[in-house]
Each structure stands twice: as C-alpha cells, then as structure tokens.
Amino acid sequence: MKDSSATVIVELKGKSEKEVLERIDRSRRKNINKAEREGLTFNKEFSESDIKKAYEIYANVWKDGGITPKNYDEWKKLIDSKDYQLFILKLKGKIIGSALIQKITKKFFNLDSDEKGIRFRAFSSDKEYNDYRPNDFLYWKCIKYAIDNKLDFVDLGGWQINARGHLEGVNRFKMQWGGNILHYQKDYPILKAIGRKLIKKSSFFWWLNKKIKGEQVV
C-alpha cells in the first residue's frame, strides 16, 4: 500500500563546492568551521574494533531517541554492502560518532531518473562532545564526499510530514542545508501504511505512537 513520504534533497549537479556551501545557513557554516578548528576528523578507513565502538554510540543514540537500533550483525551487513558507506568521526584519535550513507539513484523516489546520489541513513555522535558540533561536521563532510565523487544530489534522510514535538526541530535543522523538500509515494505493508497515515493525520495516534515507543510526550 502506498503512503506519502518526504525528504530534503540538496541538488549538486552543476554546482561547485563553494556554491553548495554558500546555500547552507550561516549558523551551520559557523559550526562546521568550529568543528574543523577543534580537530574533528572524518575517516573512511577503520578497524573492526573501531566499527564496534561506532556501533555502540549509534545504538545508545537510537535508544535514547526511543528507536530500536539494528543489532550489530544487521548493522555490519550494511557496512559491508557495496550500496552503503560508513564514516567514523574521531577527535584526537577517539571515536565519538559515525555516519552511514546509502548509495541511491532518484528511482528510489519513483522518479524516472538515473541521477546518482547518497541518502543519509544513520548519523550518531556521543552527546558528551556536542560542543564540538559533530552533527554539523558529519552533515557537511558527507555532502562534500558527494561533491568530490561528482554525485548529483544528497538526500538528507527524510522530512517529517505534519511534524510534532522534537521532529519540528529536526525538520528545521534539515532545511538549513540548502535543500528543497521532495514529496513522493512509497510502498509499505498495508498495516504499516495505515498506521503511518493515522499518525500523520491524528494528534491522538501521534501521541499513542510516542507512548508505545516509550518516548516522552510534551
């Protein structure tokens, strides 16, 4: 059964790194510069122990957000796939987060296009290091990775339709990266599709979904 979804797309085709950066909100650019001054590094090469530490941070962040993380074997399977790429974030050699991206084309959105891009799938960082602006750094480095590899677009991993609570802030954050909202239809199992529709349209079902997940409702 189809249901409406949305995401934020940063178009890169025909744009220089400078042009892409200039479209990003000034506060985000300021945070990127701060992270770089503090010495954060974005790493494509890592060991098995690095992956396990990055997974530990990812799992803790997801649980704190009320989301069940993938188990380690499932997560490792994605990392080993040619369709995914993991980057590990370090500060002075210490792992403090990671970014998992998926390689896609615009056919992912049911569009008749072979344009290539990446989709943000799982970003996480140790909240102890929030003052170093790790999330802004990870977003920009993944966008820059797409620019350097001459990709056509970056999908920031979703935009919540009829957002409530903290998701309103997540939407605002994503809109600060110079992208535009793309609405598209996606197939879901029928019960999941019905549930998604109810949650988006009804404050009661949104509240009930939060309670079931054990998230704080404000």
100 touches 84 (CB < 8 A): yes
Percent of residues in the chain assigned helix, strand, coil, to nearest 5: 45, 25, 30
pLDDT band, very low/low/confident/very high, at 1 (cuts 50, 70, 90): low
Higher-pLDDT residue of 164, 40: 40
Q: Are strands 94-105 and 84-91 parallel, antiparallel or unpaired?
A: antiparallel
pLDDT tens sequence across 23-57: 999 999 999 999 999 999 999 988 999 999 999 99
* d(C-alpha 51, C-alpha 82), whole Å: 17
Q: Give the strand order in the sheet containing 94-105.
A: 40-43, 84-91, 94-105, 116-125, 153-155, 2-11, 180-187
| Structural domains of the chain, with CATH | 2-187 (3.40.630.30)
- Alpha carbon 149 to chain centroid, angstroms: 19
By C-alpha distance, which of 5, 217, 218 is closest to 111? 5
The model's pTM is 0.85
Question: What pLDDT, on a 0 to 100 scale, did the predictor assign at position 107?
Answer: 96
Q: What is the three-class DSSP state of 35?
A: helix
**Per-residue b or e along 57-74, where b marks 16 or more CB atoms closer than 10 Å to that residue's CB:** bbbebeeeeeeebbeeee
